[in-house]
């Protein structure tokens, strides 16, 4: 059991060092994630507006082409009216002409609406492109700053993670899961030494009987107040500080 307690406290000290390296990065990781999400969201908006612009311009051009065809039909109908032999044929051509003219009026209104929609979308795209470019520039700067910090700490981080893997491998699955669960709930501190008869995490007094038993290093104790795993001062002193 003493070996297990040593491994748990060693794992905690390694995680402490890794946490310090993460702290060196400051808010950069969170800021980068936020910027990436915003760029992705704005890019999605930009692509949607681009589709609106393209479809509106395409429909406008089709309406324009249809108007030209309809005007040509109207001229043909007028020419045919001059050659009809009875009122029935004349009335039929007049009806066709009226329908074509009504369609032309409708298409002309549609063209105006489509032109406004397409132009508005194009302006929005230009604005979004500017915002995306500016945000992407800021993102690249922050990525560069984070990269410099990560590069400076790479050797240490690699060493700590490699050693952590070895130590974690010595623990049982249940023990490791319990450690990770407590660590997540207690802001990174799952294993703490008892200092001056108090829990090193929440500083609550540890019962005297537990203090006596804790010194034997033959079983696992948790703080009855905060739930952290407790180790004796002897265990703390036996763990070599990580470099």
Strand order in 198-199's β-sheet?
198-199, 191-195, 229-231, 221-222
- Whole-angstrom CA distances from 239 to 75, 160, 216 are 99, 15, 16
Structural domains in the chain, CATH included, are 25-154 (1.10.287.1490), 173-238 (no CATH)
Burial 38-60, CB ≥16 within 10 A → b, else e: ebeebeeebeebeebbeebbebb
Q: What is the pLDDT of residue 1?
A: 86
What's residue 242's pLDDT?
66
Q: pLDDT, tens digit, for every residue of 163-222?
A: 999 999 999 999 999 999 999 999 999 999 999 999 999 999 999 999 999 999 888 999
Low-confidence ranges of the chain (pLDDT < 70): 241-243
pLDDT value at residue 135: 96
Evaluate if pTM is beyond 0.75.
no
Identify the pLDDT of residue 102. 96
Q: Which backbone phi and psi does 60 adopt, to 5 degrees?
A: -65, -45
């Amino acid at each position: 059991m003493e070996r297990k307690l040593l491994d748990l406290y060693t794992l905690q000290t390694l995680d402490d060092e890794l946490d310090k390296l993460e702290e060196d990065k400051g808010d950069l990781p969170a800021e980068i994630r936020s910027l990436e999400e915003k760029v992705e969201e704005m890019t999605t908006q930009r692509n949607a507006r681009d589709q609106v612009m393209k479809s509106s311009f395409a429909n406008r051009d089709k309406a324009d082409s249809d108007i030209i065809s309809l005007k040509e039909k109207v001229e043909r109908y007028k020419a045919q009216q001059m050659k009809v032999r009875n009122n029935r044929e004349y009335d039929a051509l007049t009806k066709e002409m009226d329908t074509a003219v009504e369609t032309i009026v409708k298409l002309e209104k549609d063209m105006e609406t489509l032109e406004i929609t397409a132009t508005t979308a194009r302006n929005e795209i230009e604005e979004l492109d500017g915002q995306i470019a500016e945000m992407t520039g800021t993102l690249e700067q922050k990525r560069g700053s984070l990269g410099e910090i990560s590069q400076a700490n790479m050797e240490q981080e690699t060493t700590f993670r490699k050693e952590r893997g070895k130590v974690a491998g010595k623990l049982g699955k249940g023990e490791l899961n319990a450690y990770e669960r407590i660590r997540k709930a207690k802001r990174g501190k799952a294993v703490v030494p008892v200092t001056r008869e108090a829990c090193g995490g929440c500083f609550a007094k540890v019962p005297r009987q537990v203090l006596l038993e804790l010194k034997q290093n033959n079983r696992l104790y948790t703080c009855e107040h905060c739930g952290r795993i407790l180790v004796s001062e002897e265990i703390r002193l036996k763990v070599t500080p990580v470099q």
